[in-house]
Structure 1
Amino acid sequence: MNLKIDRSSPIPLHRQAEILLRDLITKEEYKEGKMLPNEVELSEQLRISRNTLRQSINTLVTEGLLIRKKGVGTRVAEKNLYSEATNWLSFSQEMKVLGVKIENFELHISKQAPTENARQFFEITNQVKVLRLERLRGKENFPFVYFHSEFNPKIRMDGTENFNRPLYEILENDYNIIVKTSREEIRASGANPFIAGKLEIEVGDPILIRKRFVSDINDLPIEYNIGWYRADSFSYKIESVRESRSFSSNF
């Protein structure tokens, strides 16, 4: 690694450092996920202050090209995982299509009173307990989403199911339920202390919150699901098609 700042250039130092870092992270030795040298080492090699270097790094962090973790360092971001609004899939199916091997870091099963969203979706009372499934999932050594699912009590799931299997495979094969429709809501937010701890990020770091209201082929509400995703690891693509209309004008 040979990074040099041109002090005779009219380009500001932080901008030159940014350009050099952009080039550096495209090289094979700094492929996706690789840690950058620490800031002291980089600033000494570039012969600039750490504040100037940090300004350059912050730009790349904001763009999602670098990920900084307190007490660990800065690494090159891996390509974001994409989900599309059309022809939706379960999380396991999405990751399989992308060729991503998923690791389950945590699995919690309980029966509790429904949350307000689930209660309204299933049209039940607070006195009816629902099966709740919470999972921390991600790639190898990298959790990037925390899921919370609640299921309609009309489905006789009891929590003894093997949830290492894809969820909708369980519903179809074990309970003859074929999911069809997913109504989704997505918003950006800052991570609260609980989610920050699960996703190994800082409190207030950006996350995407994705809610799903899933129904079967008979329009029976099946699952209410909410996922908290690391914003540096997940993108959502929406393709909309505008219907063509014929207009006639009389003059």
Structure 2
Amino acid sequence: MESITRLISIDRNSPVPLYFQVAQQLQQLIESGTLPPGTQLENEIALAEKFGLSRPTMRQAMQHLVDKGLLARKRGVGTQVVNNRVRRQIELTSLFEDLKRDDRRPRTEVLSLETVPAAGAVAVALGLEPGTPTVALRRLRYADDDPIAVLHNHLPADLLTLAEDDLAEHGLYELLKRAGVSLRTARQTIGARRATAAETRLLGESRGATVLTMERTVQGDGGRPVEFGSHLYRASRYSFEMSLTAH
């Protein structure tokens, strides 16, 4: 592959900041496939010297692309181009199913699985009296060995029996369907916020990173609520997509 210093041109008379000129052209090279996933980039000091830029300017350009999820810094490896972010259509499917369909090698770490009494928003979403037993599970979902989402689900305790081994190997919706639970409709709300310190550690994000949030209540036969989910996704590696039709 031709050196990126030959593929990127810098206009020092342009009002566009130098770091952004570099970052924007690097992004185009990544998105076009000229720099495919796994490409190892030289360190910032070497690149700064080759482009004739200051180290802070080069560092800012690289950090801009790290924040967008296009580059990743890995200890002992350096800076690499990473896989494109997960783009997910808004449909009544599970993240596990979507990742598997796109050949993104989903993997699940079960963080907790317990029976707890319904309370607050969970009781309301599932249409249960406060104190009714629910199954609460919390999982960390990976795509291509990178943490992508923290998933927190509640289900009525009388719906099915869940085991950690099953949750590690299969998506929740797959297990529900195997148990004969129909998934008919859902209400969903999407938002964004700053991640907590604990969340950034789980997701491998930098301090103060933004996460996407999604709350979803799924109804089964007869409109009975069968699952309430409250999930977090890495905004740098994940986006929702929807199709709109004019009437």
TM-score of the two chains, using structure 2 as the length reference: 0.82
User: Is this contact kept in 2: 1:107–1:133, CA < 8 A?
Assistant: yes
State the distance in 2 between where 1:45 and 1:17 align.
Answer: 12
Candidates 7, 10, 15, aligned match of 2:13: 10
Cross-structure match for 1:37: 42
User: Is this contact kept in 2: 1:133–1:148, CA < 8 A?
Assistant: yes
Higher Cα radius of gyration:
1
What are the residue-to-residue correspondences of 1:133-144 with 2, within 5 Å?
133-144=137-148
Q: Give 1:47 shift.
A: 2.6
Cross-structure match for 1:167: 172
Distance 1:220 1:178, change over 3 A: same
User: Is this contact kept in 1: 2:136–2:153, CA < 8 A?
Assistant: yes
Distance 1:23 1:171, change over 3 A: closer
What are the residue-to-residue correspondences of 1:60-99 with 2, within 5 Å?
60-61=65-66, 63-67=68-72, 74-85=79-90, 87-99=91-103
Q: What is the letter of the counterpart of residue 142 of structure 1? A: D
Give per-residue Cα distances to partners, 1:87-141, cap 9 Å, x unaligned.
4212222122222211123442111233522111122233223111111011232
1:214 aligns with 2:242: no
Candidates 178, 181, 194, aligned match of 2:182: 178
Q: Give 1:67 shift.
A: 4.5
Equivalenced residue count is 241
List gaps (5 residues or longer) in structure 2. Answer: none
Cross-structure match for 2:236: 232
Identity in percent = 24
Distance 1:76 1:116, change over 3 A: farther
User: Is this contact kept in 1: 2:5–2:51, CA < 8 A?
Assistant: yes
Candidates 111, 120, 130, aligned match of 2:124: 120
Candidates 200, 206, 215, aligned match of 1:196: 200
Distance 1:133 1:45, change over 3 A: same
Give per-residue Cα distances to partners, 1:174-229, cap 9 Å, x unaligned.
2x211111211100111111211110112320110111101113211000011111
State the distance in 2 between where 1:110 and 1:55 align.
Answer: 44
User: Is this contact kept in 2: 1:212–1:226, CA < 8 A?
Assistant: yes
State the distance in 2 between where 1:124 and 1:59 align.
Answer: 46
User: Is this contact kept in 1: 2:138–2:151, CA < 8 A?
Assistant: yes
Q: Identify, as 1 or 2, the structure richer in helix.
A: 2
User: Is this contact kept in 2: 1:81–1:234, CA < 8 A?
Assistant: yes
Q: Give 1:236 shift.
A: 0.7
Q: What is the letter of the counterpart of residue 10 of structure 1? A: N
List gaps (5 residues or longer) in structure 1. Answer: 244-251
1:21 aligns with 2:23: no
User: Is this contact kept in 1: 2:127–2:225, CA < 8 A?
Assistant: no
Q: Secondary structure at the match of 1:99?
A: coil
User: Is this contact kept in 1: 2:23–2:62, CA < 8 A?
Assistant: yes
